[in-house]
Amino acid sequence: MKAKKRLGQNFLQDDGIINNIIKIIHPTIEDHIIEIGPGHGAIITYLQASGAELQLIELDDDLIPILTNRFLHFNNITLHHMDALKLRLADGLSYKVVGNLPYNISTPILINMLYQANAIKQMVFMLQKEVVDRICANPGEKNFGRLSVMLQHRFDCSGLLVIKPEAFIPAPKVDSQIIMLTPKTQVTKVPLPALESLVKQAFQQRRKTIRNNLKKTVTIQQLESVGINPNQRPETINVSQYEQLALTIC
């Protein structure tokens, strides 16, 4: 089957790497696992063998019959033919959400999951390495930005295995990396839309000062009240300061 660029299809073909990903996911019989974008099923066999309850979320019409034939006789697997951006996790369970994500929509998928973090035990995703670097960046680093603040607010984020393009068919143009996101046990209670909107404005123009970027919504006094110098650049302000600032203005 020809890979579809518009669906971000780069299929894993390296068994050694697939084994390493499975070790990171560490599926067990108690797990409820959701795989986003299973493709032809590169990792399903290994997830299924653990006895975990497994739900597959795949959008591509042409992959549905293939997945159905190969995997739907296993009684621990359910297939949902749907858009992962519309995924709603059922209340009352704690899911492991995994997947080699379609890179063109990895950010909105991550934000959708962030809003449902209460139902998540752990996430293990393959992303572009550059996106993993951004998510895991520290304040003061040039790639610290919106995604770093939003995801570090709710998750402990670890960049793991780096994977070269040759591990996929077709080979992407960039390196990939596995990221593990584990919900934090202690979370500052900030309404997510308020934090999201603040951070969006704060990073609108990275070369401007925070005072300039936020001049429509935040006063100098409010910035100073959470220990921010109004002349700081947005990427030098830490996650806790963004959380405090969002609380001050919401």
Q: How far is the CB of 36 from ligand SAM (least distance, A)?
A: 6
Nearer to ligand SAM, 66 or 247 (CB): 66
For 123, the 3-state DSSP assignment is: strand
Nearer to ligand SAM, 41 or 145 (CB): 41
Ranges within 72-101 binding ligand SAM (CB under 6 A): 83-85, 100
For residue 158 the two structure tokens come to: 């670890």
Q: How far is the CB of 11 from ligand SAM (least distance, A)?
A: 4
**Piece in contact with ligand SAM (CB under 6 A), picked from 10-18, 89-97, 147-155, 173-181:** 10-18
Q: Give the residues across from 181 on adjacent strands.
A: 123, 157
Position with the least CB separation from ligand SAM: 37
In terms of Cβ atoms closer than 10 Å to its own Cβ (0-12, 13-18, 19+), residue 201 is middle
- Interacting residue with ligand SAM among 27, 39, 139, 145 (CB under 6 A): 39
In terms of Cβ atoms closer than 10 Å to its own Cβ (0-12, 13-18, 19+), residue 8 is middle
Q: Which of 248, 158, 142, 161 has the alpha carbon at shortest distance from 198?
A: 248
Q: How far apart are CA 187 and CA 202, in angstroms?
A: 21
The 17-36 site mask, x for binding ligand SAM (CB under 6 A), equals -------------------x
38 counts as binding ligand SAM under rule CB under 6 A: yes
Q: Which amino acid is at 84?
A: A
DSSP state of 119: G
- Interacting residue with ligand SAM among 25, 33, 47, 57 (CB under 6 A): 57
1 counts as binding ligand SAM under rule CB under 6 A: no
Ranges within 174-233 binding ligand SAM (CB under 6 A): none
Number of residues that bind ligand SAM (CB under 6 A): 22
Binding stretches for ligand SAM (CB under 6 A) = 7-12, 36-39, 42, 57-60, 63, 83-85, 100, 102, 105
